[in-house]
Structure 1
Amino acid sequence: MQTQQTVNEGLKRGYTITITAAELAAKIEAEIKKIAPQVRMPGFRPGKVPANLVKKMHGEALHGQVVNDTIRESVDKLIRDEALRPAMQPEIGLNEDYEEGKDAAITVSLEVLPTIEAPAIDGLKLEKLVVPVTDEQVDEALGNIASQNKSYTDAPKTKKAADGDQLIIDFVGKLDGVEFEGGKAEDAALVLGSGTFIPGFEDQLVGVKAGQEKTITVTFPENYQAAHLAGKEATFDITVKAVKVEGETKIDEDFAKSLGLDSLDKLREIMKGQLEQQTAGLTRTAMKRALLDQLAAGHSFEVPGTMVEAEFAQIWQQLQQEAASEEDPAAALKQIEDEKDEYRSIAERRVRLGLLLSEIGQANGVEISQQEMSMLIQQAAMQYRPEDRERFVQYIQSEPMAAAQLRAPLYEDKVVDFLFDKAEVTEREVTVEELQAAIEAEDGAAPAPAPKKAAAKKKAPAKKEAAAEEAPAAEEEAKPAKKAAAKKAAPKADAAPAEDKPAKKAPAKKAAAKK
């Protein structure tokens, strides 16, 4: 086997590995001898089939296996011998005119990770913007909980139902006089004016009394989720079993106990903790952005273009999805298209910061334990259907690149926490509005060297500063490809949660009369 370097420009490397026909033939012969004892053929005792017949039967398959194995072994040896640190999976090719009996010429193209000088982490200074939680905020939060836990009491029999009153009803829906599936319910609770049921349903029940029976006619919306009902006119036979009025919900000891807590003080304590947790997330975001800005300002080095393109592709896909959900998708898509270069600059910043954080972490012994990794895999697997979870776990365990991508965000957070501990941190109390303004301030958050946009300009579907906030740190250098064949496909999830937003839950099925 002979290796010749063909490209050495910046971070780009190229090689040609020549494997002689004699080497390949020797490997094939060795493989034939290895499998011959297991080959069965009529007329021959087990293990006594001649090698030439084994080769005739399995030669083509063995040749393909040997070539693939040799390519993999050759590329792995190249990376070890040259002490390469691939940024992404190398591109590997085999000369088009190759056939058995000829030399094989393997081309290897890749980008390597840059050599980064020891990052300066001494002298970091950060300001921690803290939002104190006031009693008034706790009272407001409790009021919101109370409004979501309204109680209703029976009204006098003569009471005519009005908006805000709760009805307990039985109903049966019909199309052309025939009851349809999903259109029937008993003891259904409906608050008039809540918009819970399809348009026109609740309006026709204003003024009813307990014990009254009424038939109403409604038309299902054209975009109704049940296709057999969409746009159809239907009748509902309704029996009003009770009319209830909203009772006063007092935030007291009994209210706390109705929520399963020991006392009102315990409820207030929990609410205060939740509010502090919410603002703590914003505080961390602001500190992390300030930290990344300091690191970005103090370090400049070439980054692999393949990593930038991969990062940009992720950003661009998210932007396109968000633009497609805007009221005017065409205008939103045009806007992000006009700012494409800026988003590419953001991708470059994210890659640079990712490599920098990775270097800092490795230099300072930041690690992810096996237990943490196992928990991470199990959490990620829960996004998949139960029958696909084990396959996902196996995929992550067998693909080093996939594991590195899964591990990267947690590793990045651990490095950031390490730097927080090293930095000189001062605290300043601010309001929630001031904290959010600090996060959204473009001059402190947008890392790309692009001009600011006029204030009157329509906002892009995704904030550039939000896209720039997270640095996609790789915990370690990319591992070389294990196979020259196509990459193994990961099992598909039902819905992949968005990076910074919780995945939306699928709405529970309701009676056909409901939205």
Structure 2
Amino acid sequence: MSYEIKNQKKIDLNKVKLDIEISNNYLKKYIGKAYKNISQKANIPGFRKGKIPYQIIDANFGKQYVLNEAASLSISELYPDIIMESNLKPIDYPKIKINQLAEDLPLGFEVELELEPEIELPGYKGIKVTGLSTDVSDQELERQIDNIRNNFASLEPVEDDKPISKGDYVTLDFDGEIEGKAFEGGSAEDYLLEVGSNTLFAEFEDSLIGMKKGVKKNLILTLPENNENKDLSGKQASFSIFIKEIKKKVLPEINDEFLKNLGDYKDTDDFKDNIKKRLIEQKESVRRGKIIEEIFNHIIDNIKSSVPNVMVTGRIKQINEEIDEGLKKQKINRDNYLKAINITEDKLNEEIKERAVREVKEYLIFKALEKAEKKNIEPSEDEIKKEKDNIISRYKKEEDIKKIREFFENHEGNKTLTQTIKRRKIIDLLINSAQVIEEKNTGSRGKEDIWTPDKDKARVEKKAKRLWTPG
């Protein structure tokens, strides 16, 4: 064997020290490689790089320098195998101290490692949580159907003498001036505006109500204090407004013709049943997410263990790299990104740190739960096969199916499957053991919270996100 772990001992709460010996034969292989490396880099007058004799290297650098290079190479090569054999999970670079290094002796050294901490879990069963209702009221169903109809609405002209009311769509010309001078964004022609949408500022839109097609109006308005252009905030502007056309939004009737745009529905009742089913599914997903969030909030608030700074720092670095990679793909620089989300660099860094701390804690909690509930969450062969078949069934192309099968056949793929099932079982266990305090359905959720056909993709993408794990 090329190496031997002579001793392994715990030196601190999350630190261990390994005493290791690498065989002399293995070390000698790397002495030759060390000479070659030094020869490639060294600048010695009279000799070309890569062609420097060993004796010349010894004379210029010393034999010990060569042995140190050989030791570094051999330790680097064997380190992954040493960690795997010892079944340890270091979270930082190792501290290495060489104790014995000679050309005719084994290489003796010690490795000090900081490991993932094993946190002490508080009570995690019977936690009181809120159970959001999954009932769908008639009001919610009708609101959702109207929301879908709204996506297919048409704009139709109103009668010529009908005044503008909130919700009408108006085509207008307007010219704005401040102290007799035009200002940026103050004028437009053939501008289509939904009155009451706050696309322009509220006072301007409100002034249109009651006007009729073909009418011109002059008025003085005060620009809002939160104007994007700070130089214009709060200033008075005179506007000349001309109404060219007024239209109203007309929602389509729910009939066979309309349903053809949405999918294969038998009739209106089938369509409504399908929408209701999707709303229930979404509410069940939200309910489950809310319960597990409250459970984890409780556990996080009650754990006494601190998380290692090195894990948090590592996760912060990863998050920033993910952000930068995303911005690079979208060809957006970081400064413009900060302006777009209206946040300072310091505030973003603060939020990233909070996220990193949370994710590290969640990871360590899951690891502790896996250990505590090992007997209850170990998946059977049937469960693994079912999970595998379920994932494969989502793919249609033979090429994709072949790739995913090959992935599941290797060690990493099988490990991923097993881990997925374990995590799901832990979540189920936590939810099933919680004290759920049911909340009545008030039917007051806004339309932005309920399902629409185009949200399916977003839901799938969100579900695909997994718990963060180091590396």
Out of 151, 154, 157, the position equivalent to 1:154 is 157
Alignment of 1:161-310 (within 5 A): 161-173=164-176, 179=182, 185-226=188-229, 230=233, 233-245=236-248, 247=250, 250-253=253-256, 255-256=258-259, 264-265=268-269, 267-282=271-286, 284-285=288-289
Partner of 1:121: none
| CA displacement at 1:209 relative to structure 2 | 2.0
- Rounded to whole Å, the distance in 2 between the matches of 1:67 and 1:55 is 16
Partner of 1:89: 91
Q: CA RMSD in A?
A: 6.5
Out of 341, 352, 360, the position equivalent to 2:368 is 352
Out of 391, 410, 422, the position equivalent to 1:415 is 422
| CA displacement at 1:12 relative to structure 2 | 4.6
Partner of 2:144: 141
Corresponding residue pairs, total: 362
What are the Cα deviations for residues 81-122 of structure 1, in whole angstroms up to 9, with x where unaligned? 5x3332x42552246999999x996541333787xxxxxxxx
Corresponding residue SS for 1:7:
strand
Question: CA separation of 1:54/1:213 partners in 2, compared to 1, >3 Å: closer, same or farther?
Answer: farther
Conserved? CA contact 2:99–2:108, under 8 Å: no
What are the Cα deviations for residues 153-199 of structure 1, in whole angstroms up to 9, with x where unaligned? 32333333233433122345556655555555443332333323213
Out of 94, 109, 115, the position equivalent to 2:113 is 109
Question: CA separation of 1:208/1:472 partners in 2, compared to 1, >3 Å: closer, same or farther?
Answer: closer
| CA displacement at 1:241 relative to structure 2 | 1.0
Conserved? CA contact 1:215–1:238, under 8 Å: yes
- Rounded to whole Å, the distance in 1 between the matches of 2:232 and 2:132 is 53
Alignment of 1:14-33 (within 5 A): 14-15=17-18, 27=30, 29-33=32-36
- Rounded to whole Å, the distance in 1 between the matches of 2:442 and 2:20 is 57
Alignment of 1:384-399 (within 5 A): none
Question: CA separation of 1:284/1:188 partners in 2, compared to 1, >3 Å: closer, same or farther?
Answer: same
Partner of 2:440: 433
- Rounded to whole Å, the distance in 1 between the matches of 2:113 and 2:216 is 78
Corresponding residue SS for 1:281:
helix
- Rounded to whole Å, the distance in 2 between the matches of 1:62 and 1:370 is 55
What are the Cα deviations for residues 171-230 of structure 1, in whole angstroms up to 9, with x where unaligned? 455566555555554433323333232132112222322123345544444443455655
- Rounded to whole Å, the distance in 1 between the matches of 2:214 and 2:308 is 69
Corresponding residue SS for 1:276:
helix
Matched, 1:364 2:367: no
- Rounded to whole Å, the distance in 2 between the matches of 1:253 and 1:279 is 28
Corresponding residue SS for 2:440:
helix
- Rounded to whole Å, the distance in 2 between the matches of 1:91 and 1:109 is 8
Question: CA separation of 1:345/1:202 partners in 2, compared to 1, >3 Å: closer, same or farther?
Answer: closer
- Rounded to whole Å, the distance in 2 between the matches of 1:47 and 1:248 is 80
TM-score by length of 1: 0.48
What are the Cα deviations for residues 121-151 of structure 1, in whole angstroms up to 9, with x where unaligned? xxxxxxx999465767533432444467665
| CA displacement at 1:275 relative to structure 2 | 1.2
TM-score by length of 2: 0.51
- Rounded to whole Å, the distance in 2 between the matches of 1:267 and 1:290 is 35
Identity value in percent? 22
- Rounded to whole Å, the distance in 1 between the matches of 2:227 and 2:72 is 54
Supply the AA of the counterpart residue of 1:50: P
Conserved? CA contact 1:279–1:432, under 8 Å: no
Conserved? CA contact 2:27–2:71, under 8 Å: yes
Corresponding residue SS for 1:200:
helix
Q: Which runs of 5+ in 1 are unaligned?
A: 115-127, 297-301, 315-324, 326-332, 338-342, 376-402, 437-469, 480-515
- Rounded to whole Å, the distance in 2 between the matches of 1:360 and 1:8 is 32
Question: CA separation of 1:433/1:217 partners in 2, compared to 1, >3 Å: closer, same or farther?
Answer: same
Conserved? CA contact 1:218–1:234, under 8 Å: yes
